[in-house]
Structure 1
Amino acid sequence: MGGRLERGRRYARAGQVLSLSLATSVVVAQVQGSRESPYRARIGIRAFTPAEWKRIEEALAGQALYAAKLLAGEMPTDVEAVLGELGLRLFPDTMRELSMDCTCPDWEVPCKHLAAACYLLAESFDEDPFKIFAWRGRSRDELLDRLRALRGSAAPVHRREDDVPALADCLDSFWVGEPVAPAPIQDGAGPADAVLDQLDPLPITVGDRPLVDLLRPAYRAMTAEEAP
């Protein structure tokens, strides 16, 4: 495949991939070849099932550092280790995990048009690693919303009123809580409220809502006021 891959790389560098669109399970590229009309190259992969995504999200949400990095917009470098423990892989290992076709007359797979699309697809993953999640069936927003929900659902601890001690009986310890070790806070730009996701869930609710959900708008508002 060396010759075709090299020609595909030249196609990619020459700007002959006119468009590249990614959706669940499939990437479609329009690649200009020697003919007037561009060829359509498609690269498919199996999306994870809802049950598999549930396991993945619970595993990521269950580890504070992984959840914090993802919620701050950063892809953990060893995220494959988490999926590996579940018997899954985010990135394909072999060509057998991909389905490819192109409208060009070349019967070899991958042809140079598919190779060009693969080069640009790999570059797009470098620029935005969350696209690999989208290819597997979860958009960035869907994944982060689900992680926030899972991290928040672990926080509430509901008590009956008769289980709460009287204030007069706990004045000496009222303001003392259990120490919480914060996860490392990453430098760089990220959502204003990402720091809230870098701590283990707080076992405090106001009404039926976790305290973190009530604090989130305030963090965003304070950042907006400081912005130039």
Structure 2
Amino acid sequence: MSNWYPPPARPKPVEGGIRARSKRGAIAQTWWSERFIDVLESIGVGGRLERGRHYARRGQVIDLDIDAGTVTARVQGSRARPYRVRIGLAAFDKTAWTKVSELLADSAWYSAKLLAGEMPDDIEDVFGSVGLSLFPDRADQLSMDCTCPDWEVPCKHLAAVFYLLAESFDGDPFGILAWRGRDRDDLLETLSALRSGHLPADRQEQSDAAIPLADCLDTFFTCPGAIPRHNPARAASDALLDQLPTIDVTVRGQSVVEVLRPLYVTLAGSR
């Protein structure tokens, strides 16, 4: 019996395909794309990226689109029709993004970094504080589909898309956020609005129609909740003197402020 096997089919060349920028060595150049590669390695996907590296560097990926919850691409293989590739990752809902946006807006550091197009080093902690994981942390959080006949997942076509996806995060860190459901423009608009205290009307969780007064007379004057009591901290009786500007007046060689200080303390004690 012959052990001869046909040589592997060569992929058909593509004009204008997406070529990987990295010609050798590591894919990732920034911490966030390195983090994505580390995650893929930890869940058993990263080790298969080598299968797609050749395709990615040859420009076999025709197009690649990142949308909320889905990355789609077309990859040209050896057949006449390109294969369709889909990588799914659950997008966060509006409530989750509201919580994250408020936390990001509360920090001038996070806001400044994001508005400058950079990903804060500890942004994962922000998502973690509300029970979310920015990057997938289990293989079953990713769904992978390709129309090729290869039985192995990920196949080289999926691996090529993963390779380019990781590299794309170098140039645009907002790609991972868009994949999770919030694109760059929406996020930055929301952060700017929250920082200025003017959230756009379409982002406010409220009804457009007002309730007629006649329908809510029974509860209109009812306090919706307990009014918090604030007991301001007592300031020292002579604290006001410390806020005065410098006064170049002395009494018998002593600053007039220090002359008055015992008087303030005495008057406070007599009340």
Shorter-chain TM-score bucket reads 0.5 to 0.7
Q: Give the equivalent residue in structure 2 for 1:178.
A: none
Q: Give the equivalent residue in structure 2 for 1:29.
A: 73
In structure 2, what is the Cα distance between the partners aligned to 1:13 and 1:93? 27
Q: Give the equivalent residue in structure 2 for 1:68.
A: 112
In structure 2, what is the Cα distance between the partners aligned to 1:129 and 1:37? 32
In structure 2, what is the Cα distance between the partners aligned to 1:138 and 1:72? 17
Contiguous gaps of at least 5 residues in structure 1? 155-172, 174-228
Structure 2 residue 179 is the aligned partner of structure 1 residue 126: no
Give the TM-score, by structure 2 length.
0.54
Q: 1:73 to 1:3 in 2, by over 3 A?
A: closer
Q: How does 1:172-191 map to 2 (within 5 A)?
A: none
SS in 2 for 1:29: strand
Identical-pair percentage: 64
Deviation at 1:46, TM superposition (A): 0.3
Q: Give the equivalent residue in structure 2 for 1:52.
A: 96
Q: How does 1:1-228 map to 2 (within 5 A)?
A: 5-153=49-197
Q: 1:112 to 1:21 in 2, by over 3 A?
A: same
In structure 1, what is the Cα distance between the partners aligned to 2:76 and 2:187? 35
Letter in 1 for 2:91: A
Post-superposition Cα deviations, 1:49-98, rounded to whole Å, max 9, x if no partner, equal 10000010011011111111112222112211111111111111232111
In structure 2, what is the Cα distance between the partners aligned to 1:3 and 1:71? 34
In structure 1, what is the Cα distance between the partners aligned to 2:51 and 2:183? 32
The Cα RMSD (Å) is 1.9
Post-superposition Cα deviations, 1:123-147, rounded to whole Å, max 9, x if no partner, equal 1111100111111111101001101
Deviation at 1:107, TM superposition (A): 2.1
User: Do the aligned partners of 2:85 and 2:145 also contact (CA within 8 Å) in 1?
Assistant: yes
Q: 1:72 to 1:3 in 2, by over 3 A?
A: closer
Contiguous gaps of at least 5 residues in structure 2? 1-44, 199-242, 244-271
Deviation at 1:110, TM superposition (A): 0.8
Whose Rg is larger?
2
Letter in 2 for 1:152: S
In structure 1, what is the Cα distance between the partners aligned to 2:170 and 2:139? 20
- Of structures 1 and 2, the one with the larger relative CO (CA 8 A, separation 6+) is 1
In structure 1, what is the Cα distance between the partners aligned to 2:47 and 2:133? 29
In structure 2, what is the Cα distance between the partners aligned to 1:147 and 1:117? 31
Deviation at 1:6, TM superposition (A): 2.2
Give the number of aligned pairs.
155
**Runs of 4+ residues deviating >6 angstroms:** none
Post-superposition Cα deviations, 1:167-212, rounded to whole Å, max 9, x if no partner, equal xxxxxx9xxxxxxxxxxxxxxxxxxxxxxxxxxxxxxxxxxxxxxx
In structure 2, what is the Cα distance between the partners aligned to 1:118 and 1:151? 35
Deviation at 1:2, TM superposition (A): 8.4
User: Do the aligned partners of 2:49 and 2:162 also contact (CA within 8 Å) in 1?
Assistant: no
SS in 1 for 2:88: strand
